[in-house]
Chain A
Amino acid sequence: QVQLVQSGAEVKKPGASVKVSCKASGYTFTGYYIHWVRQAPGQGLEWMGWINPNSGDTKYAQKFQGRVTMTRDTSISTVYMELSRLRSDDTAVYYCARVDYDSSGYYMGFGYWGQGTLVTVSS
């Protein structure tokens, strides 16, 4: 079965960086884009960007341009999201999510999600 397993909770100081991993299993890793979505405490869902695990191509939300880097390691079916120059308002649960496609290649939404990784930014 498809699984996305994320790394554990992190506590960081302002100005530091954090790198969250998302290990995929149960499907062909290079066949599906992975997106990252975050959720601040008590708030809604905020899209951060995607990575194509096959090519390594990425697309980031304008808000995070210059601070976020998404990478992948195909040898271990894992994608990473690194966020730098952390601020207190980056405190959130970070999710990876896999898209689903129909037989013609059209998106069907985010069918699978990781369990989430809480990143706390505090001095």
Chain B
Amino acid sequence: DIVMTQSPDSLAVSLGERATINCKSSQSVLSSSNNKNFLAWYQQKPGQPPKLLIYWASTRESGVPDRFSGSGSGTDFTLTISSLQAEDVAVYYCQHYYSTPVAFGQGTKVAIK
């Protein structure tokens, strides 16, 4: 089974500053059939279900602000919020969907400094 590990567990960033979250998979999630990484990022606010932000490691879901970006390939991935806004306070999860069982990282809590 593929294990997902995020870092850090939490971070505090000033408004307008950059936030960076890392995610590492225990095996590559790069598909040879379509050359895409089967890696997604989700945002979860209190009392709400997760919301898909990024899929295929770097493709923004429709309607997601362009301050959110994803990068990486193989086993190492990054979610970047280029200019943190108050509404971005949330927990962020990476997820692989390369194989069954799918798995999530443990989550990274983003707060305002």
List B residues 49-72 near A (Cβ within 8 Å).
49-52, 55-56, 59, 61
B contact patch SS: loop
B103 part of interface (Cβ distance < 8 Å): yes
Chain B residue with the shortest CB-CB distance to A59 = B100
Interface residues as binary, A69-107 with B (CB distance below 8 Å gives 1, 0 otherwise): 000000000000000000000000001010110001011
Stretch at the interface among B10-18, B19-27, B33-41, B80-88: B33-41
A33 shortest CB reach to chain B, Å = 11
Contact B49 A109 (CB under 8 A): no
Residue of A nearest to B40 (CB): A109
Whether a CB of chain B sits under 8 angstroms from the CB of A110 is yes
Interface residues of B (CB under 8 A from A): 31, 33-34, 36, 38, 40, 42, 44, 49-52, 55-56, 59, 61, 93, 95, 97, 100-107
CB–CB A109/B107 < 8 A:
no
| Distance between A42 CB and nearest chain B CB, rounded to angstroms | 10
Give the residue name and chain of the A residue nearest to B102 (CB): A47
Q: What is the bound-complex CA distance between A107 and B51, given in angstroms?
A: 16
